[in-house]
Chains A and B, each alone.
Chain A
């Protein structure tokens, strides 16, 4: 392109200013990417939820249990293919900061209801035969440097105290990048054997796999109707609705992130808009001479906009590159507080879009000013 050299020369005219503006973009884009992955991490449950799965919990709250006896009644409802159940264990491995979710699972149906979480057959067989066995997500295994055969003591905080010992029989991997690989599963029988009498025969929630997603509303209503007016009334939702309501427990994360993101956006806009305005004002004489020798209004606007967009793009790539490097490290450091952080292609694309939008808005007003510059008046001023 014929104007490339002119655009680049103008870009590097004030190197310190360029570095500072690029730095502003880089920091803002890094923050944008970080906020976006945190938001993603919290809302991912809804995104990756299967359309043909329902979750049934106690109508009062998810922390209230429901009887195991409901399983057969749910399984008999037309349209239900499989039912599995889980319980939250809430144990601590060595220290509270080493958080990862532990679930008591139903070995009979777990793999059929959650086929996206894959365990090799030989490891699963070993797990079925081992009362103290555990299956652990690949990222938790990596985090603590565990391997198959390791004995893992986990102190319970809910079921009477003391450490329960588990043996790692297998490692599961998610089929998709977004799948949660932090969970720790262990046998229902082992749990039932050790918990106090009041807890026996109680599950935290059921996950119901349907023949068809079209049956979701009907089956959900049927389940809740089945247990209406019982001591343990239920509330059944699609898995994505369940995930969304789970996130709401942490407060309005999305709103918080939107507010922070908006502040970042407007601050960046003011910084770059001011920079571009100063940069154009400094060049009034040069722009006037360009117009005098035949550069059209559109070309002048293009030069200013191209400069703003180039800064936005370089700064954006810098910030997103930084995010690409830092987010896995931050994700690992914050793994006990936040779900796993993944910088997806959609966040990267949104980041570039965000940078270009800021670049375009910050360049458009000075660009129009330059375009409308009257040569005679500009020469009179300089």
Chain B
């Protein structure tokens, strides 16, 4: 269950309270996020939509521990990440967050297998255990036979599948997807969304996704609209729910 604009205590997996982010550009201060509150439970699939500059990606970066807020807190599974040191935050990201980006960001000189294995190099897993995890992840994304292919030998959709396999291989607490279909044709986008849905429905993954595409966001459990750094609207299955309510 996703709750927006809440201030109370909850047992949600992700709890965002009073989140503000301000950038300084030249002499000007730009408020990107303004007092955002949000609860996301385990297994939820949330899409963030909004015009460019509305703060979607900034929110995703803050949730993933890639950036620090100006004020407010983000807690994930009881860990308050906003005051962690850089080193601790890096460790935390390795354990809890799987990232999927629009441009896939695979390492071009590594094979699909080696790309997926990257997060596991930071663990104490043995080589054979790593192999099992990588093969399982590639099987989930439907690319077990492309393990030895380099990114340049794969289609865009396949590259994104490898990126998803890399994101899930260490079994993170949640996935953050920034425009995961933004660089794909409709058919490939549908396939990627089917895969993300499968991760949520079958593997009980929690997914937070930024997208501009209404067809893509429609597949989420919940769509949150941001405008000028404020959550203005929450909708479920294309039925609008006023901001501040439960969906």
Residues of A in contact with B (beta carbons under 8 Å apart): 2-3, 5-6, 9-10, 12-13, 285-286, 288-297, 299, 375-376, 379, 382
Contact = CB atoms under 8 A, between A and B. Distances in A.
B109 A3 contact: no
Contacts of A2: 121
30 contacts: A2-B121, A5-B110, A5-B114, A6-B107, A6-B110, A6-B118, A9-B110, A9-B114, A12-B109, A13-B108, A286-B105, A286-B108, A289-B99, A291-B90, A292-B66, A292-B93, A292-B99, A293-B93, A293-B119, A293-B122, A294-B95, A295-B90, A295-B122, A296-B87, A296-B91, A299-B122, A375-B61, A376-B66, A379-B101, A382-B103
A4 to B, nearest CB: 10
A310 to B, nearest CB: 14
Interface in B66-93: 66-67, 86-87, 90-91, 93
B193 interface: no
Contacts of A290: 107, 118
Given A293-B118, A294-B122, A295-B90, A376 B99 contact: no
Interface of B: 61, 64, 66-67, 86-87, 90-91, 93-95, 99, 101, 103, 105, 107-110, 114, 118-119, 121-122, 166
Contact of B87 (A6, A286, A297, A375): A297
A12 B94 CA distance: 27
A289 B105 contact: yes
Nearest to B66: A375
Contacts of B93: 292-294
B101 A289 contact: yes
A379 B107 CA distance: 14
Given A293-B119, A379-B101, 9 more contacts: A6-B107, A13-B109, A285-B103, A286-B107, A289-B99, A289-B105, A290-B107, A376-B61, A376-B67
Contacts of B99: 289, 292-293
Contacts, number: 65
Contact of B119 (A9, A13, A286, A294): A294
A306 to B, nearest CB: 14
A376 B61 CA distance: 7
Given A9-B109, A286-B105, A294 B90 contact: yes
A382 B103 CA distance: 9
Contacts of B101: 289, 379
B105 A3 contact: no
Contacts of B94: 293-294
Contact of A10 (B105, B109, B121): B109
Nearest to A379: B101
Contacts of A299: 122
A80 B103 CA distance: 85
Nearest to A3: B121
A297 B108 CA distance: 21
Contacts of B108: 13, 286
Contacts of A291: 90
A376 B178 CA distance: 12
Contacts of A9: 107, 109-110, 114
A296 B90 CA distance: 6
A382 B105 CA distance: 10
A295 B180 CA distance: 22
Given A6-B110, A12-B109, A289-B101, A294 B66 contact: no
